[in-house]
């Protein structure tokens, strides 16, 4: 990991941005640039010397922010979700410009272990056609996108590994080829995701509960420490060696 203290930019200063700021300084890093909703024009005039940017803004502004950071050669960690249709375009831009980029729909270390096990479990369940699969996710009421980016990642990883599944939907479904994602928005819930496999004889439920927003912030800073000295596109699972 990158042990040198970093000069960071935080793009997006909601609850996550504020938590990242606090923990980054606690770990000895400097936050020299903060882009809030009130100073978005400053994105065009970012100062030199930024080691990494951590982008946790909103879906409607994320792609424009990422394009600016890529063209300025600033290694970037992005945790904003809800802009999936542009993901390959952004990955290609960072690759072509040889700028470091880490995107994750979830920066919790525990959730990324969950992602890893979810893939393994899906491979096993590919041979068990009697089991149906369902994903449930619950978040705080301030979360704007549904399903969550994390739930989409879980679903897409299953679709790639279970041959009888080729799509996910954000509602209950009785279709053999679809994975239903059931979304709930409840006050003061940090985030919970579960995958269940159900047959007439058994039910298997695999769950992750986020206990604090600090877990996501810690992961984002670990990613910034990693990407600050690298070029190209990485996943958080790459960083964790999974």
Cα separation, 165 vs 175, in Å, equals 9
Work out the number of other CB atoms within 10 angstroms of the CB of residue 94.
25
3-state helix vs strand vs coil in the chain, percent to 5: 40, 25, 40
Work out the number of other CB atoms within 10 angstroms of the CB of residue 43.
20
21, 139, 193, 208: the active-site residue: 139
Whether the Cβ atoms of residue 240 and residue 109 lie closer than 8 Å to each other: yes
Cα separation, 162 vs 181, in Å, equals 16
Cα separation, 87 vs 198, in Å, equals 32
What is the pairing mode between strands 203-209 and 192-198? antiparallel
Whether the Cβ atoms of residue 70 and residue 46 lie closer than 8 Å to each other: no
143 is catalytic: yes
DSSP code, position 24: H
Helix (H, G, I), strand (E, B) or coil at 149: helix
2, 18, 143, 190: the active-site residue: 143
Catalytic residues: 139, 143
């Amino acid at each position: 990991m990158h042990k040198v203290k970093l000069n960071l930019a935080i793009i997006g200063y909601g609850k996550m941005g504020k938590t990242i700021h606090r923990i980054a300084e606690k770990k000895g890093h400097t936050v020299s640039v903060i882009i809030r909703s009130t100073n978005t024009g400053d994105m065009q005039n970012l100062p030199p010397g930024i080691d990494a940017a951590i982008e946790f803004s909103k879906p409607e502004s994320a792609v424009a922010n990422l394009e600016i950071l890529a063209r300025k050669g600033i290694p970037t960690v992005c945790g904003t979700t809800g802009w999936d249709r542009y993901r390959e375009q952004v990955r290609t831009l960072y690759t072509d410009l040889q700028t470091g980029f880490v995107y994750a729909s979830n920066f919790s270390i525990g959730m990324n272990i969950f992602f890893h096990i979810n893939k393994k479990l899906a491979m096993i369940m590919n041979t068990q056609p009697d089991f149906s699969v369902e994903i449930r996710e619950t978040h705080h009421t301030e979360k704007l996108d549904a399903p969550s980016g994390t739930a989409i990642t879980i679903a897409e990883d299953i679709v790639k590994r279970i041959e009888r599944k080729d799509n996910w939907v954000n509602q209950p479904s009785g279709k053999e080829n679809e994975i239903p994602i059931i979304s709930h928005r409840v006050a003061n819930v940090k985030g919970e995701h579960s995958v269940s496999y159900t047959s007439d004889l058994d039910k298997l439920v695999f769950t992750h509960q986020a206990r604090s927003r600090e877990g996501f912030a810690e992961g984002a800073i670990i990613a910034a420490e990693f990407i600050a000295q690298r070029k190209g596109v990485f996943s958080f699972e790459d960083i964790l060696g999974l």
